[in-house]
Amino acid sequence: MRPSFHPIVYKALHWLFMGVVAWLILFGRLAAA
């Protein structure tokens, strides 16, 4: 049983993950400043 993800769902999860990482980096820089 291999999980089959739709390209839309996979891309949405990918962009969501990238967005979270970007916000963590941004807040990290603001906190360090």
Q: Please report the pLDDT score of residue 4 as a whole number.
A: 73
pLDDT of residue 30: 93
21 vs 31: CA distance, rounded Å: 15
pTM for the full predicted model: 0.56
From residue 31, alpha-carbon distances to 11, 20, 24 in Å are: 30, 16, 10
Residue 6 structure tokens: 């739709």
Would you state the structure tokens that stand for residue 4, as one six-digit string? Answer: 């089959």
User: What are the pLDDT digits (tens) for 1-33?
Assistant: 676 768 898 899 999 999 999 999 999 999 987
What is d(CA 17, CA 8) in angstroms, rounded to the nearest whole number? 14
